[in-house]
Amino acid sequence: MWEQKYSQYFTVDIEEEKAKLLEKNRPPRKPLSPYIFFSQEKRKEIKAQKNLSAKQIMKMVSKHWQDVKENKDITEKYEYLSLRDRELYAILRKFWKKEKEDFPDKCNS
C-alpha cells in the first residue's frame, strides 16, 4: 500500500549511492527518523511563508509534529520514508563492510 502511494518521494539509485560512498571514503550515514523527514519538509514550507529564525521555525515544526503524530494519515508518509531509508542504510552498510574487508587501504574509516 505505501509503495504505490509514496514511492515518488523516495527515489534512490543504489549503484549511484555506492559510488558516492567510495568517492567520499566514508561509511553510510545513519537512517533518518520519520520526524526528521517531516521536519525537513515543514521547515521548507514555513521558511517560504515567514521570515523567522531557525529556532522559531523548529519550535513551530516541533509543535506541528506533536499535533499530527497521532494522525496515521499524515505520519504514514514519513514512516514510509524512514523505513525505506533504513533499508537503504542496511544495503549500503553491507556494501561498505564488504568493500572495507576486500580493500582495507581504500576504506580507512
pLDDT digits (tens, 9 = 90+) for 19-37: 888 888 889 999 999 999 9
pLDDT tens digits along 52-65: 999 999 999 999 99
- Tell me how far apart the alpha carbons of residues 73 and 70 are, in angstroms, rounded to a whole number: 9
Q: Give 29 or 109, the one with higher predicted confidence.
A: 29
- Cell reading at 55: 529556532
Q: Give first-to-last CA distance, the chain, whole Å.
A: 38
Region 9-26: mean pLDDT is 82
Q: In this predicted structure, what is the pLDDT of residue 6?
A: 62
Contact 108, 25 (CB under 8 A): yes
Q: In this predicted structure, what is the pLDDT of residue 5?
A: 63
Domains delineated in the chain: 2-9+26-102 (1.10.30.10)
For the whole model, what pTM was predicted?
0.78
Q: In this predicted structure, what is the pLDDT of residue 2?
A: 54
- Cell reading at 101: 574487508
